[in-house]
Homo-oligomer: A and B are copies of this chain.
Protein backbone atom coordinates (compact mmCIF):
# COMPACT_ATOMS: atom_id res chain seq x y z
CA UNK A 1 0.00 0.00 0.00
CA UNK A 2 2.77 2.40 -0.90
CA UNK A 3 2.67 5.37 -3.25
CA UNK A 4 -0.38 7.62 -3.57
CA UNK A 5 -3.24 6.33 -1.44
CA UNK A 6 -5.71 4.33 -3.53
CA UNK A 7 -8.01 3.17 -0.78
CA UNK A 8 -10.37 1.29 -3.09
CA UNK A 9 -8.33 0.14 -6.06
CA UNK A 10 -9.96 -3.03 -7.41
CA UNK A 11 -6.72 -4.88 -8.13
CA UNK A 12 -5.11 -4.00 -4.78
CA UNK A 13 -8.34 -5.12 -3.16
CA UNK A 14 -8.19 -8.42 -5.03
CA UNK A 15 -4.56 -9.08 -4.12
CA UNK A 16 -4.89 -8.24 -0.44
CA UNK A 17 -8.24 -9.91 0.07
CA UNK A 18 -6.94 -13.18 -1.42
CA UNK A 19 -4.16 -13.03 1.19
CA UNK A 20 -6.75 -12.49 3.89
CA UNK A 21 -8.82 -15.46 2.69
CA UNK A 22 -5.81 -17.73 3.09
CA UNK A 23 -5.08 -16.28 6.50
CA UNK A 24 -8.63 -17.00 7.67
CA UNK A 25 -8.76 -20.47 6.11
CA UNK A 26 -5.47 -21.29 7.83
CA UNK A 27 -6.96 -20.06 11.10
CA UNK A 28 -9.73 -22.64 10.79
CA UNK A 29 -7.21 -25.32 9.85
CA UNK A 30 -5.35 -24.66 13.09
CA UNK A 31 -8.22 -23.69 15.34
CA UNK A 32 -7.93 -26.76 17.56
CA UNK A 33 -4.37 -25.83 18.49
CA UNK A 34 -5.32 -22.65 20.39
CA UNK A 35 -6.48 -22.52 24.01
CA UNK A 36 -10.26 -22.13 23.61
CA UNK A 37 -10.54 -19.62 26.44
CA UNK A 38 -7.84 -16.98 26.13
CA UNK A 39 -5.39 -17.29 29.03
CA UNK A 40 -4.05 -13.69 28.97
CA UNK A 41 -4.05 -11.33 31.95
CA UNK A 42 -5.99 -8.04 32.00
CA UNK A 43 -4.02 -5.28 30.28
CA UNK A 44 -1.76 -7.69 28.36
CA UNK A 45 -2.17 -5.95 25.01
CA UNK A 46 -1.24 -2.40 25.99
CA UNK A 47 2.31 -3.47 26.71
CA UNK A 48 2.58 -5.04 23.24
CA UNK A 49 1.29 -2.19 21.07
CA UNK A 50 2.61 1.34 20.46
CA UNK A 51 1.08 4.32 22.26
CA UNK A 52 -0.12 6.03 19.11
CA UNK A 53 -1.14 5.46 15.52
CA UNK A 54 1.64 5.38 12.91
CA UNK A 55 2.33 8.37 10.67
CA UNK A 56 3.35 6.18 7.76
CA UNK A 57 1.68 3.13 6.24
CA UNK A 58 2.65 -0.37 7.31
CA UNK A 59 2.34 -3.53 5.26
CA UNK A 60 -0.49 -6.04 5.47
CA UNK A 61 2.07 -8.70 6.31
CA UNK A 62 3.22 -6.69 9.34
CA UNK A 63 -0.35 -6.30 10.50
CA UNK A 64 -1.12 -10.01 10.03
CA UNK A 65 2.08 -10.94 11.86
CA UNK A 66 1.03 -8.72 14.76
CA UNK A 67 -2.43 -10.21 14.68
CA UNK A 68 -0.95 -13.70 14.93
CA UNK A 69 1.56 -12.86 17.62
CA UNK A 70 -0.28 -10.30 19.74
CA UNK A 71 -4.02 -10.40 19.08
CA UNK A 72 -4.73 -14.14 18.70
CA UNK A 73 -3.44 -15.05 22.18
CA UNK A 74 -6.12 -12.70 23.52
CA UNK A 75 -8.91 -14.22 21.44
CA UNK A 76 -11.40 -16.65 22.92
CA UNK A 77 -12.20 -19.02 20.08
CA UNK A 78 -15.96 -19.16 19.76
CA UNK A 79 -15.64 -21.23 16.57
CA UNK A 80 -13.45 -23.88 18.15
CA UNK A 81 -15.04 -27.35 18.18
CA UNK A 82 -14.14 -27.38 21.89
CA UNK A 83 -16.24 -24.31 22.69
CA UNK A 84 -19.21 -25.22 24.90
CA UNK A 85 -19.79 -21.98 26.85
CA UNK A 86 -22.82 -19.63 26.93
CA UNK A 87 -24.66 -20.40 23.70
CA UNK A 88 -23.01 -20.99 20.33
CA UNK A 89 -22.37 -18.09 17.95
CA UNK A 90 -22.16 -19.85 14.61
CA UNK A 91 -19.90 -18.92 11.78
CA UNK A 92 -20.31 -20.77 8.50
CA UNK A 93 -18.95 -20.51 4.99
CA UNK A 94 -22.28 -19.18 3.75
CA UNK A 95 -22.56 -16.70 6.61
CA UNK A 96 -18.98 -15.56 6.11
CA UNK A 97 -19.48 -15.11 2.37
CA UNK A 98 -22.57 -13.05 3.13
CA UNK A 99 -20.59 -10.85 5.49
CA UNK A 100 -17.92 -10.40 2.81
CA UNK A 101 -20.45 -9.43 0.19
CA UNK A 102 -22.24 -7.03 2.52
CA UNK A 103 -18.96 -5.39 3.59
CA UNK A 104 -17.89 -5.30 -0.06
CA UNK A 105 -20.97 -3.41 -1.23
CA UNK A 106 -20.92 -1.34 1.99
CA UNK A 107 -24.19 0.45 1.51
CA UNK A 108 -26.26 1.93 4.32
CA UNK A 109 -29.87 0.85 4.01
CA UNK A 110 -31.74 3.10 6.42
CA UNK A 111 -34.50 3.98 3.97
CA UNK A 112 -35.82 1.97 1.06
CA UNK A 113 -34.37 4.44 -1.42
CA UNK A 114 -30.84 4.17 -0.06
CA UNK A 115 -30.72 0.62 -1.44
CA UNK A 116 -34.10 -0.89 -2.28
CA UNK A 117 -32.70 -4.44 -2.54
CA UNK A 118 -31.47 -4.35 1.06
CA UNK A 119 -34.93 -3.58 2.42
CA UNK A 120 -36.78 -5.89 0.06
CA UNK A 121 -34.48 -8.88 0.50
CA UNK A 122 -34.80 -8.51 4.27
CA UNK A 123 -38.59 -8.55 4.06
CA UNK A 124 -38.58 -11.58 1.77
CA UNK A 125 -35.99 -13.61 3.67
CA UNK A 126 -37.68 -12.96 7.01
CA UNK A 127 -40.94 -14.13 5.46
CA UNK A 128 -39.08 -17.28 4.34
CA UNK A 129 -37.73 -17.86 7.82
CA UNK A 130 -41.13 -17.20 9.41
CA UNK A 131 -42.60 -19.89 7.17
CA UNK A 132 -39.78 -22.29 7.99
CA UNK A 133 -40.61 -22.09 11.69
CA UNK A 134 -44.33 -21.89 10.95
CA UNK A 135 -45.07 -18.55 12.54
CA UNK A 136 -48.68 -17.44 12.10
CA UNK A 137 -49.35 -15.45 8.91
CA UNK A 138 -49.93 -12.33 11.02
CA UNK A 139 -46.17 -12.04 11.35
CA UNK A 140 -45.56 -11.92 7.59
CA UNK A 141 -44.78 -8.67 5.81
CA UNK A 142 -47.67 -9.24 3.44
CA UNK A 143 -50.14 -8.24 6.19
CA UNK A 144 -49.91 -5.70 9.02
CA UNK A 145 -46.81 -7.29 10.52
CA UNK A 146 -43.38 -8.22 9.30
CA UNK A 147 -39.86 -9.18 10.18
CA UNK A 148 -36.74 -7.09 10.69
CA UNK A 149 -33.14 -7.94 11.43
CA UNK A 150 -31.94 -6.43 14.69
CA UNK A 151 -28.37 -6.63 15.90
CA UNK A 152 -29.15 -8.63 19.01
CA UNK A 153 -31.99 -10.03 21.09
CA UNK A 154 -31.40 -7.11 23.48
CA UNK A 155 -32.32 -4.64 20.79
CA UNK A 156 -35.29 -6.80 19.78
CA UNK A 157 -36.81 -6.80 23.26
CA UNK A 158 -36.04 -3.09 23.67
CA UNK A 159 -37.83 -1.98 20.51
CA UNK A 160 -40.95 -4.02 21.25
CA UNK A 161 -40.97 -2.85 24.87
CA UNK A 162 -40.89 0.74 23.58
CA UNK A 163 -43.66 0.02 21.08
CA UNK A 164 -45.81 -1.51 23.83
CA UNK A 165 -44.98 1.30 26.27
CA UNK A 166 -45.92 4.05 23.86
CA UNK A 167 -49.06 2.24 22.75
CA UNK A 168 -50.40 2.16 26.30
CA UNK A 169 -49.16 5.67 27.11
CA UNK A 170 -51.02 7.06 24.11
CA UNK A 171 -54.16 5.70 25.79
CA UNK A 172 -53.52 6.57 29.44
CA UNK A 173 -51.28 9.63 29.09
CA UNK A 174 -47.51 9.88 29.33
CA UNK A 175 -47.52 10.86 33.00
CA UNK A 176 -48.62 7.30 33.80
CA UNK A 177 -45.17 5.92 32.95
CA UNK A 178 -44.58 5.25 36.65
CA UNK A 179 -47.61 2.95 36.74
CA UNK A 180 -46.57 0.60 33.92
CA UNK A 181 -45.73 -2.95 34.97
CA UNK A 182 -43.52 -5.48 33.14
CA UNK A 183 -43.62 -9.24 33.82
CA UNK A 184 -41.02 -11.92 33.36
CA UNK A 185 -39.64 -14.92 35.20
CA UNK A 186 -36.45 -15.01 37.22
CA UNK A 187 -34.99 -16.95 34.28
CA UNK A 188 -35.63 -14.20 31.72
CA UNK A 189 -32.54 -12.77 30.05
CA UNK A 190 -31.03 -9.64 31.59
CA UNK A 191 -31.76 -7.88 28.29
CA UNK A 192 -35.27 -7.25 29.59
CA UNK A 193 -33.98 -5.53 32.71
CA UNK A 194 -31.74 -3.37 30.53
CA UNK A 195 -34.63 -2.52 28.20
CA UNK A 196 -36.68 -1.44 31.22
CA UNK A 197 -33.83 0.74 32.49
CA UNK A 198 -33.54 2.40 29.07
CA UNK A 199 -37.29 2.85 28.63
CA UNK A 200 -37.74 4.39 32.07
CA UNK A 201 -39.89 1.61 33.53
CA UNK A 202 -39.61 1.93 37.28
CA UNK A 203 -37.54 -0.92 38.75
CA UNK A 204 -40.17 -1.57 41.43
CA UNK A 205 -42.67 -2.22 38.62
CA UNK A 206 -40.63 -5.01 37.09
CA UNK A 207 -42.19 -8.23 38.34
CA UNK A 208 -39.62 -11.00 38.33
CA UNK A 209 -41.73 -14.08 39.03
CA UNK A 210 -40.10 -16.99 40.80
CA UNK A 211 -39.55 -20.34 39.11
CA UNK A 212 -38.24 -23.61 40.49
CA UNK A 213 -37.53 -27.19 39.58
CA UNK A 214 -41.22 -28.15 39.88
CA UNK A 215 -41.86 -26.50 36.49
CA UNK A 216 -38.31 -27.09 35.24
CA UNK A 217 -37.81 -23.33 35.67
CA UNK A 218 -40.69 -22.35 33.41
CA UNK A 219 -42.98 -19.44 34.30
CA UNK A 220 -46.27 -20.52 35.89
CA UNK A 221 -49.39 -18.96 34.32
CA UNK A 222 -51.08 -19.05 37.76
CA UNK A 223 -48.32 -16.92 39.26
CA UNK A 224 -48.59 -14.48 36.38
CA UNK A 225 -52.33 -14.25 36.77
CA UNK A 226 -52.05 -13.52 40.48
CA UNK A 227 -49.42 -10.86 39.95
CA UNK A 228 -51.48 -9.12 37.29
CA UNK A 229 -54.64 -9.16 39.40
CA UNK A 230 -52.77 -7.72 42.34
CA UNK A 231 -51.22 -4.96 40.25
CA UNK A 232 -54.54 -3.99 38.72
CA UNK A 233 -56.10 -3.92 42.17
CA UNK A 234 -53.54 -1.40 43.41
CA UNK A 235 -54.03 0.84 40.38
CA UNK A 236 -51.03 -0.14 38.30
CA UNK A 237 -51.11 -0.86 34.56
CA UNK A 238 -49.78 -4.26 33.40
CA UNK A 239 -48.54 -3.88 29.80
CA UNK A 240 -45.72 -6.26 28.87
CA UNK A 241 -44.71 -9.89 29.33
CA UNK A 242 -41.47 -11.35 28.07
CA UNK A 243 -41.82 -15.13 27.79
CA UNK A 244 -38.82 -17.26 26.93
CA UNK A 245 -38.53 -20.42 24.87
CA UNK A 246 -35.12 -21.77 25.82
CA UNK A 247 -33.86 -19.70 28.73
CA UNK A 248 -30.18 -18.86 28.96
CA UNK A 249 -29.62 -20.69 32.23
CA UNK A 250 -31.24 -24.02 31.43
CA UNK A 251 -33.27 -23.75 28.19
CA UNK A 252 -36.52 -23.72 30.14
CA UNK A 253 -39.63 -23.23 28.02
CA UNK A 254 -42.34 -20.90 29.28
CA UNK A 255 -45.80 -22.26 28.38
CA UNK A 256 -46.95 -19.90 25.64
CA UNK A 257 -50.46 -21.33 25.41
CA UNK A 258 -51.29 -20.66 29.05
CA UNK A 259 -49.47 -17.35 29.22
CA UNK A 260 -50.97 -16.09 25.97
CA UNK A 261 -54.52 -16.50 27.23
CA UNK A 262 -53.73 -14.29 30.20
CA UNK A 263 -51.93 -11.58 28.26
CA UNK A 264 -54.66 -11.51 25.65
CA UNK A 265 -57.49 -11.07 28.15
CA UNK A 266 -55.53 -8.31 29.90
CA UNK A 267 -54.40 -6.41 26.81
CA UNK A 268 -50.75 -7.10 27.61
CA UNK A 269 -48.07 -7.21 24.88
CA UNK A 270 -46.60 -10.73 24.75
CA UNK A 271 -43.03 -10.93 23.50
CA UNK A 272 -41.48 -14.35 22.92
CA UNK A 273 -37.71 -14.53 23.29
CA UNK A 274 -36.60 -17.67 21.45
CA UNK A 275 -33.15 -16.26 20.74
CA UNK A 276 -31.44 -19.62 21.10
CA UNK A 277 -34.14 -22.30 20.77
CA UNK A 278 -35.99 -20.69 17.88
CA UNK A 279 -33.54 -22.39 15.51
CA UNK A 280 -34.63 -25.83 16.73
CA UNK A 281 -38.20 -25.03 15.71
CA UNK A 282 -37.26 -25.54 12.06
CA UNK A 283 -37.52 -29.28 12.87
CA UNK A 284 -41.15 -30.49 13.04
CA UNK A 285 -40.39 -32.53 16.16
CA UNK A 286 -39.34 -29.43 18.12
CA UNK A 287 -41.87 -26.98 16.71
CA UNK A 288 -44.32 -27.72 19.56
CA UNK A 289 -42.17 -25.70 21.97
CA UNK A 290 -43.59 -22.53 20.44
CA UNK A 291 -47.19 -23.72 20.29
CA UNK A 292 -49.22 -20.77 21.44
CA UNK A 293 -47.13 -18.25 19.55
CA UNK A 294 -50.42 -17.34 17.84
CA UNK A 295 -51.19 -15.12 20.84
CA UNK A 296 -47.81 -13.40 20.83
CA UNK A 297 -47.33 -9.83 19.62
CA UNK A 298 -43.68 -10.30 18.79
CA UNK A 299 -41.24 -13.16 18.36
CA UNK A 300 -37.45 -13.18 18.25
CA UNK A 301 -34.81 -15.72 17.30
CA UNK A 302 -31.09 -15.17 16.76
CA UNK A 303 -29.93 -16.59 13.46
CA UNK A 304 -26.44 -15.75 14.69
CA UNK A 305 -26.60 -18.22 17.52
CA UNK A 306 -27.41 -21.68 16.19
CA UNK A 307 -28.39 -21.04 12.58
CA UNK A 308 -25.03 -20.69 10.85
CA UNK A 309 -25.43 -16.96 10.22
CA UNK A 310 -22.46 -14.92 11.37
CA UNK A 311 -22.97 -12.39 14.15
CA UNK A 312 -25.00 -10.18 14.08
CA UNK A 313 -28.40 -11.30 12.83
CA UNK A 314 -31.30 -11.30 15.28
CA UNK A 315 -34.64 -11.90 13.56
CA UNK A 316 -37.63 -10.10 15.08
CA UNK A 317 -41.21 -10.40 13.89
CA UNK A 318 -44.15 -8.26 15.00
CA UNK A 319 -47.84 -8.47 14.23
CA UNK A 320 -48.43 -4.72 14.32
CA UNK A 321 -45.56 -2.95 12.61
CA UNK A 322 -47.44 0.32 13.04
CA UNK A 323 -46.79 0.22 16.79
CA UNK A 324 -43.03 -0.11 16.23
CA UNK A 325 -42.99 2.67 13.69
CA UNK A 326 -44.99 5.02 15.88
CA UNK A 327 -42.37 4.65 18.61
CA UNK A 328 -39.25 4.80 16.52
CA UNK A 329 -39.88 6.96 13.50
CA UNK A 330 -38.49 10.37 12.76
CA UNK A 331 -38.93 12.21 9.51
CA UNK A 332 -36.17 14.77 8.97
CA UNK A 333 -36.18 16.81 5.79
CA UNK A 334 -32.86 15.46 4.51
CA UNK A 335 -34.26 11.92 4.37
CA UNK A 336 -37.55 12.75 2.67
CA UNK A 337 -38.15 11.10 -0.70
CA UNK A 338 -41.06 10.20 -2.93
CA UNK A 339 -41.25 6.51 -2.05
CA UNK A 340 -41.23 7.16 1.72
CA UNK A 341 -43.57 10.13 1.63
CA UNK A 342 -45.99 8.14 -0.50
CA UNK A 343 -46.06 5.26 2.03
CA UNK A 344 -45.11 2.94 -0.79
CA UNK A 345 -42.22 1.27 1.03
CA UNK A 346 -40.82 0.00 4.31
CA UNK A 347 -38.11 2.20 5.82
CA UNK A 348 -36.39 -0.03 8.34
CA UNK A 349 -34.84 2.97 10.13
CA UNK A 350 -38.24 3.23 11.85
CA UNK A 351 -38.10 -0.37 13.12
CA UNK A 352 -34.84 -0.08 15.05
CA UNK A 353 -32.70 2.08 17.36
CA UNK A 354 -29.94 3.13 14.93
CA UNK A 355 -30.44 5.05 11.71
CA UNK A 356 -27.81 3.30 9.56
CA UNK A 357 -27.91 -0.42 8.90
CA UNK A 358 -25.87 -3.04 7.03
CA UNK A 359 -27.10 -5.41 4.33
CA UNK A 360 -27.48 -8.25 6.83
CA UNK A 361 -30.19 -10.15 4.99
CA UNK A 362 -27.58 -11.22 2.43
CA UNK A 363 -25.93 -13.64 4.84
CA UNK A 364 -29.23 -15.13 5.98
CA UNK A 365 -30.27 -15.50 2.32
CA UNK A 366 -27.01 -17.26 1.55
CA UNK A 367 -27.31 -19.59 4.56
CA UNK A 368 -30.81 -20.61 3.51
CA UNK A 369 -29.87 -21.11 -0.14
CA UNK A 370 -26.38 -22.63 0.13
CA UNK A 371 -27.49 -25.14 2.80
CA UNK A 372 -31.21 -25.66 2.22
CA UNK A 373 -33.77 -26.50 4.87
CA UNK A 374 -33.08 -30.24 5.07
CA UNK A 375 -29.39 -29.74 5.77
CA UNK A 376 -30.19 -27.11 8.36
CA UNK A 377 -32.58 -29.49 10.11
CA UNK A 378 -29.90 -32.21 10.14
CA UNK A 379 -27.45 -29.70 11.53
CA UNK A 380 -29.74 -28.94 14.50
CA UNK A 381 -30.56 -32.60 15.06
CA UNK A 382 -26.90 -33.56 15.07
CA UNK A 383 -26.13 -31.08 17.84
CA UNK A 384 -29.07 -32.30 19.86
CA UNK A 385 -27.83 -35.88 19.45
CA UNK A 386 -24.37 -34.81 20.56
CA UNK A 387 -25.86 -33.12 23.64
CA UNK A 388 -27.83 -36.29 24.39
CA UNK A 389 -24.59 -38.22 24.14
CA UNK A 390 -22.93 -35.87 26.61
CA UNK A 391 -25.90 -36.18 28.94
CA UNK A 392 -25.50 -39.96 28.87
CA UNK A 393 -21.81 -39.68 29.65
CA UNK A 394 -22.60 -37.51 32.67
CA UNK A 395 -25.34 -39.90 33.83
CA UNK A 396 -22.95 -42.83 33.70
CA UNK A 397 -20.53 -41.24 36.16
CA UNK A 398 -22.04 -41.44 39.66
CA UNK A 399 -19.92 -38.51 40.85
CA UNK A 400 -22.01 -36.20 38.63
CA UNK A 401 -25.65 -35.33 38.24
CA UNK A 402 -27.67 -33.93 35.34
CA UNK A 403 -29.61 -31.11 36.99
CA UNK A 404 -32.56 -30.41 34.68
CA UNK A 405 -33.89 -32.54 31.84
CA UNK A 406 -32.10 -31.61 28.61
CA UNK A 407 -34.45 -30.21 25.96
CA UNK A 408 -32.19 -28.89 23.21
CA UNK A 409 -28.40 -28.90 23.00
CA UNK A 410 -27.57 -27.60 26.48
CA UNK A 411 -26.74 -29.94 29.37
CA UNK A 412 -26.87 -28.55 32.92
CA UNK A 413 -24.94 -30.69 35.36
CA UNK A 414 -22.85 -30.59 38.47
CA UNK A 415 -20.25 -32.48 40.39
CA UNK A 416 -21.74 -33.92 43.57
CA UNK A 417 -19.89 -33.15 46.77
CA UNK A 418 -18.32 -36.11 48.58
CA UNK A 419 -20.26 -37.41 51.60
CA UNK A 420 -23.29 -35.37 50.44
CA UNK A 421 -21.67 -32.28 51.89
CA UNK A 422 -24.02 -29.81 50.19
CA UNK A 423 -22.31 -26.80 51.70
CA UNK A 424 -19.15 -27.20 49.70
CA UNK A 425 -20.97 -28.15 46.50
CA UNK A 426 -21.12 -24.65 45.09
CA UNK A 427 -17.46 -23.98 45.71
CA UNK A 428 -16.58 -27.38 44.31
CA UNK A 429 -18.33 -26.70 41.01
CA UNK A 430 -16.98 -23.18 40.85
CA UNK A 431 -13.49 -24.58 41.26
CA UNK A 432 -14.14 -27.29 38.69
CA UNK A 433 -15.23 -24.64 36.17
CA UNK A 434 -12.05 -22.68 36.83
CA UNK A 435 -9.70 -25.60 36.49
CA UNK A 436 -11.41 -26.98 33.40
CA UNK A 437 -11.34 -23.62 31.61
CA UNK A 438 -7.76 -22.98 32.73
CA UNK A 439 -6.59 -26.01 30.77
CA UNK A 440 -7.47 -24.11 27.60
CA UNK A 441 -8.69 -27.40 26.16
CA UNK A 442 -12.42 -26.64 26.44
CA UNK A 443 -14.53 -23.67 27.48
CA UNK A 444 -17.76 -24.19 29.46
CA UNK A 445 -19.80 -21.74 31.52
CA UNK A 446 -22.09 -21.76 34.54
CA UNK A 447 -25.34 -20.60 36.05
CA UNK A 448 -27.16 -20.75 39.36
CA UNK A 449 -30.47 -22.62 39.69
CA UNK A 450 -32.36 -22.64 43.00
CA UNK A 451 -29.24 -21.37 44.69
CA UNK A 452 -27.05 -24.13 43.28
CA UNK A 453 -23.99 -23.43 41.19
CA UNK A 454 -24.44 -25.41 37.97
CA UNK A 455 -22.17 -26.13 35.03
CA UNK A 456 -23.47 -25.49 31.51
CA UNK A 457 -22.30 -27.53 28.52
CA UNK A 458 -23.76 -26.03 25.34
CA UNK A 459 -23.20 -27.96 22.12
CA UNK A 460 -23.54 -25.95 18.93
CA UNK A 461 -20.24 -24.95 17.31
CA UNK A 462 -20.26 -25.91 13.61
CA UNK A 463 -17.01 -27.89 13.90
CA UNK A 464 -17.97 -29.96 16.95
CA UNK A 465 -18.06 -33.73 16.39
CA UNK A 466 -18.57 -36.68 18.72
CA UNK A 467 -14.83 -36.98 19.34
CA UNK A 468 -14.81 -33.44 20.77
CA UNK A 469 -17.64 -34.32 23.13
CA UNK A 470 -15.79 -37.38 24.34
CA UNK A 471 -12.55 -35.47 24.78
CA UNK A 472 -14.33 -32.68 26.63
CA UNK A 473 -15.94 -35.11 29.02
CA UNK A 474 -12.53 -36.67 29.67
CA UNK A 475 -11.09 -33.24 30.57
CA UNK A 476 -13.98 -32.62 32.97
CA UNK A 477 -13.61 -36.07 34.55
CA UNK A 478 -9.85 -35.68 34.97
CA UNK A 479 -10.14 -32.27 36.57
CA UNK A 480 -12.91 -33.53 38.83
CA UNK A 481 -10.77 -36.46 39.93
CA UNK A 482 -7.87 -34.14 40.71
CA UNK A 483 -10.13 -31.74 42.58
CA UNK A 484 -11.83 -34.41 44.65
CA UNK A 485 -8.40 -35.73 45.64
CA UNK A 486 -7.57 -32.37 47.28
CA UNK A 487 -10.64 -32.40 49.53
Contacts and interface: CB of A to CB of B under 8 A. Distances in A.
A158 B118 CA distance: 25
Given A96-B104, A334-B446, A174 B152 contact: no
A76 B10 contact: no
A1 B368 CA distance: 12
A486 B58 CA distance: 56
A217 to B, nearest CB: 13
A328 B37 CA distance: 26
A310 B103 contact: yes
Contact of A14 (B21, B72, B373): B21
Interface string A54-77: 111111101100010011111111
The dominant DSSP class at the A interface is helix
A202 B200 CA distance: 12
A311 B356 contact: yes
A19 B202 CA distance: 53
Contact of A117 (B54, B72, B308): B72
Interface in A30-56: 37-38, 40, 42-46, 49, 51-56
B106 A91 contact: yes
B101 A24 contact: yes
A312 to B, nearest CB: 6
Contact of A355 (B79, B100, B114, B152): B152
Interface string A100-120: 110111111000111111101
Contacts of A95: 103, 106
Given A1-B93, A25-B10, A353-B155, A175 B174 contact: no
Interface string A248-274: 110000000000000000000000000
A170 interface: no
A448 to B, nearest CB: 5
A162 B76 CA distance: 31
Interface residues of A, number: 159
A63 B370 contact: yes
B53 A355 contact: no
Nearest to A18: B21
A318 B344 CA distance: 41
Contact of A78 (B27, B107, B369): B107
A327 B193 CA distance: 11
Contact of A107 (B67, B89, B378, B434): B89
Contacts of A368: 53-54
A199 B200 contact: yes
Most chain B CB atoms below 10 A, which of A12, A200, A362: A200
Contact of A56 (B120, B328, B365, B372): B372
Copies of the polypeptide in the assembly: 2
A106 B80 CA distance: 11
Most chain B CB atoms below 10 A, which of A100, A121, A447: A100
Interface string A198-232: 11101000000000000000000000000000000
B151 A354 contact: yes
A173 to B, nearest CB: 11
A103 B91 contact: yes
Contacts of A62: 369
A17 interface: yes
A319 interface: no
Contacts of A94: 1, 7
Interface stretch (A128-136, A288-296, A385-393, A401-409): A128-136
A447 B334 CA distance: 5
Nearest to A24: B104
B14 A330 contact: no
A13 B79 CA distance: 14
Nearest to A359: B75
A144 interface: no
B53 A12 contact: no
Contacts of A23: 101, 104
Nearest to A330: B190
A13 B28 contact: yes
Interface in A411-468: 434, 445-448, 456, 462-463
4 cross-chain pairs, A with B, having the tightest CB-CB distances, nearest first: A74-B117, A14-B25, A99-B103, A24-B104
